[in-house]
A and B are shown apart, each in its own frame.
Chain A
Amino acid sequence: MKVAVLTLFSLCIAPTAWGQTADAFVLAKLFVNSTANPQCTFSSNDNLVFGSAGLPSSGTTGSVTVSPVTGARSANNVTTWGTYTVGQVQLTGTDIGSYVVSIFLDAEVVHSSQGTETLDYDVDWAQAETSSGSYTSITGFSYSHAGTARATSLDRYFQFGGTIGGILPGSVTGVYEGSITVWAGCV
């Protein structure tokens, strides 16, 4: 974002006592401030929904995985059904040279009405330049991009999946919930 600063200098010179005359000048100056004003914001496109899963058979532990790269759901030792969606947020910005995206979450999801009941949650995430583009996995909990030049506009998409595990034959049925906080800093 560019900022224009217009400064007006005015000068009024009175005639002297010696009958001399002089011109009056009005100077106008324009300073253009080229300091960048980076802005970045997130918008949430989809929450991460694993759908429904049955309980595993006796003696086994089940898990359900949603791939952040493909959006596909898979399962071990449990049957899954119902709608599932990969989580997705969009990072948009202007005048951005570099940015960092970090995620914060708990390592479990909690039963919606019985807070002591939990399931393990292990996040996987990925990023792409377009919503339906080719997503690349991100390792760890931070992703950074160091630009060589400022981008007048930035669009990045981050998808969230992962694995919910620890599903036991005796697990309490119902809805388990958690959240991922996604944060970005831009310069």
Chain B
Amino acid sequence: MPGFMYTTANSVMKTVILVLMGFSTALAAWGFQSSGSETVDVEITLAAPSPSCSITLTNDLSYGNVVPGSSSGSVTISSTTGDRTHEDVDEVSGSATVGQVEVAGNHGTQYVVEPVFPTALEESGGDTLTYSYKWASSDAASSGYVEFTTETSDTNTGTGTGHSFTKHYRFGGTVSGIETTLPTGAYDGEITVAVSCS
């Protein structure tokens, strides 16, 4: 390997001269009848990237169908397992799903997840059922959920640049006040889940 082919920054000017001499010498001594050259630029960008985060809906929260009993009843979906239980209703049917979202982020030192829950589910005519929420989180999508007790938000810390964050949240709770006096039909509400990162 010729010595002029690899240089350090301290010898940039010297390098140019040596290289040019090297070309002409090589052409003459080796008898090249044609030659050509090309430059390939080399580039890298070092950056402290801005934190980013996103939230993706996995499942809506659905309690299925319920037939009221003789007294005020309730239906509960576990935020940790997604299991459905009921009290003082005649029948539950249809599929029940626990609400679930996936929160992801990058390059953050903090990821804050903050859901806002309704207090009631409302029927189109304006009648309502009482809703009390439960929520839980896990690093895995389908297992390992731990229920929050009184927290209304979840703050996760990261290491900043290069940090990658993923966490799953489930939403369940109890719908109560199910009585025969209420009109039949769908009762809806909306849980808003926000994530912020910094």
* Chain A residues proximal to chain B, CB less than 8 Å: 36-44, 46-57, 64, 78-79, 81-82, 87-89, 91, 93, 96, 100, 102-110, 118-119, 121, 140-142, 160, 162, 164, 167, 171-187
**Pairwise interchain contact B42-A48, C-beta atoms closer than 8 A:** yes
Q: Which residue of B has the minimal Cβ distance to A109?
A: B42
B34 to chain A, nearest CB (A): 5
Known: A107-B8, A108-B9. Contact between A41 and B45, CB under 8 A? Answer: no
Rounded to whole angstroms, the CA-CA distance of A44 and B4 in the bound complex is 23
Q: Indicate if the CB atoms of A54 and B40 lie closer than 8 Å.
A: no
Are A106 and B9 touching (Cβ within 8 A)? yes
Instruction: Find out whether the CB atom of A118 lies under 8 angstroms from the CB atom of B9.
Output: yes
Given known contacts A53-B45, A57-B159, A185 and B27 CB-to-CB distance under 8 angstroms: yes
Are A38 and B37 neighbours in the complex by a CB distance under 8 Å?
A: no
Once the chains are docked, how many angstroms separate the CA of A140 from the CA of B44?
Answer: 23
Given A179-B40, A180-B42, check contact A103 B5 (CB 8 Å).
yes
Contact (A185, B1) CB under 8 Å given A78-B162, A106-B7, A121-B42: no
Whether the pair A54, B161 counts as a contact (CB closer than 8 A) is yes
**Which of B's residues lie within 8 Å of A, judged by CB?**
1-2, 4-9, 12, 15, 19, 23, 26-27, 30-49, 107, 159, 161-162, 164
Give which listed residue, B31, B39, B43, contacts A187 with CB less than 8 A: B31
Offer 14 A-B interface pairs, CB within 8 angstroms, sorted by A. Answer: A44-B38, A44-B40, A81-B49, A93-B34, A106-B15, A107-B6, A109-B43, A141-B2, A141-B6, A142-B2, A176-B45, A181-B19, A183-B23, A183-B35
Task: Say yes or no: A185 contacts B6, CB within 8 Å.
Answer: no
Known contacts A106-B7, A107-B7; A54/B41 CB under 8 A: no
Tell me which of A43, A142, A172, A177 contacts B43 (CB under 8 A).
A177
B38 x A52 contact (CB < 8 A): no
Interface of B, secondary structure class, is: mixed
Given A37-B33, A186-B34, 13 further pairs, Cβ under 8 A: A36-B33, A38-B34, A57-B162, A79-B49, A82-B45, A93-B34, A100-B32, A107-B7, A121-B42, A142-B1, A173-B46, A176-B45, A179-B42
Given contacts A44-B38, A54-B107, A141-B6, contact A173 B32 (CB under 8 A): no
Residues of B within 8 A of A79 (CB): 49, 107, 161-162, 164
Partner of B36, one of A41, A49, A78, A104: A41
Given A106-B15, A186-B33, A187-B33, A181 contacting B39 (CB threshold 8 A): yes
Q: Which residues of B contact A173 (CB under 8 A)?
A: 46-48
Residue among A104, A142, A162 with most chain B CB within 10 A:
A104
Closest CB of chain A to B33's CB: distance in Å?
5
Pair A108/B8 contact, Cβ less than 8 Å: yes
Question: Is the pair A47, B43 in contact by a Cβ cutoff of 8 Å?
Answer: yes
CB < 8 Å neighbour of B40 from A81, A89, A93: A89
Contacting residues, chain A, for B43 (C-beta < 8 A): 47-50, 109, 175-178
User: Complex formed: what's the CA distance from A109 to B43 in Å?
Assistant: 8
B residues within 8 A CB of A41?
34, 36
Chain B residues whose C-beta falls within 8 Å of the C-beta of A78 in the assembled complex: 162
| Pairwise interchain contact B44-A104, C-beta atoms closer than 8 A | no
Q: Which residues of B contact A142 (CB under 8 A)?
A: 1-2, 5
